[in-house]
Amino acid sequence: MENLNLNIRIDDESGFCFGVVSAIQKAEKELAESGELYCLGEIVHNDEEVKRLETQGMVNISKQDLQNIKNKTILFRAHGEPPVSYEVAMKNGNRIIDASCPIILKLQKRFRESFEKGETIYLYGKPNHPEVIGLNGQIGNKAVVFGHLEDLDLKKIPKKITIYSQTTMSIENFYAIVGKLEESGIEVTIKDTICRQVSHREPRLRLFSRKFNKIVFVAGKHSSNGSVLYNVCLHENPNTFFVSSPEEIQGSWFKKDDSVGICGATSTPMWLMKNVELKLLSL
């Protein structure tokens, strides 16, 4: 079979954000020293990276598992945790490696301060996302969490609210929602807590996606940020393909001499994008 001779470029702005880089570095350091580490939830929403760390001795555990694990070392990932996770881990004599992203820790503090002031808090985010669970847990789950404006009954919303956002949500959608709430006569105190390391990738990816015949977007299937950024690419370039591993790539997607851009989420490791490049070069 004739080689497709694809012209390939990896987006050098893609890959892990600093919070994920820090968490993985802490995990690797502990694994190198002790060969064992328990991680509460997946360290990053990328199956390939999780598998890589598992081969080094990392064990993923659930909140239910946490109840029974004693005298071990447990890593809290970058997404942040509610206070109850710390209480349970310490009660059982565990050592905690806290890899919560500094941006998340600052957001949790702001969240608590708003609540202590008596503000009515609405949180734009995915209800089951670990960051959202960690945030709402700071205030006894008293915030109203919603993923879409349609989830809310505008007639039942108080006349004055404070609105926060999960850090990885779309900045455009966030402000569109704020606009609709204000149009409905609601006084909104805006707490723009979207991570700029994430939101700044959107305009860069728009430009990147236009430069190629085809785009291969690499991310874990459960990555919230991956879903947002994939749709950014797809909007700009209809020939955008989502993959989680090189094995998912199909030669039928490409024509001879196509230009192909490879990019990914803040939870996508650069080594995985390079493996995707190798797969494409073999076509």
For residue 265, count CB atoms less than 10 angstroms from its CB and return exposed for 0-12, middle for 13-18, buried for 19 or more.
buried
Q: Using CA atoms, how far apart are residues 169 and 127, in angstroms rounded to an integer?
A: 12
Query: Are 27 and 78 contacting, i.e. CB atoms less than 8 angstroms apart?
Result: no
How many CA atoms, within 13 angstroms, populate the side-chain half-sphere of residue 185? Answer: 6
- Tell me phi and psi for residue 216, to 5 degrees: -110, 115
| CB-count burial class (<10 Å; 0-12, 13-18, 19+) for 255 | exposed
Instruction: Dig out the tokens for 264 from the structure.
Output: 């990914």
Report how far residue 114's alpha carbon sits from residue 218's, in angstroms, rounded to the nearest whole number: 37
Rounded Cα distance between 160 and 158, Å, is 5
Question: Which residue among the candidates 54, 131, 183, 236 is catalytic per the annotation?
Answer: 131
131 annotated active-site? yes
The single residue listed with the structure tokens 């926060």 is 164
CA 174 to chain centre: 16
First to last CA, the chain: 9
Burial of 19 (0-12, 13-18, 19+ CB in 10 A): buried
No. of helices (H) and no. of strands (E), the chain: 11, 12
How far does Cα 81 stand from its chain's mean position?
Answer: 14
Which residues does the annotation mark as catalytic?
Answer: 131
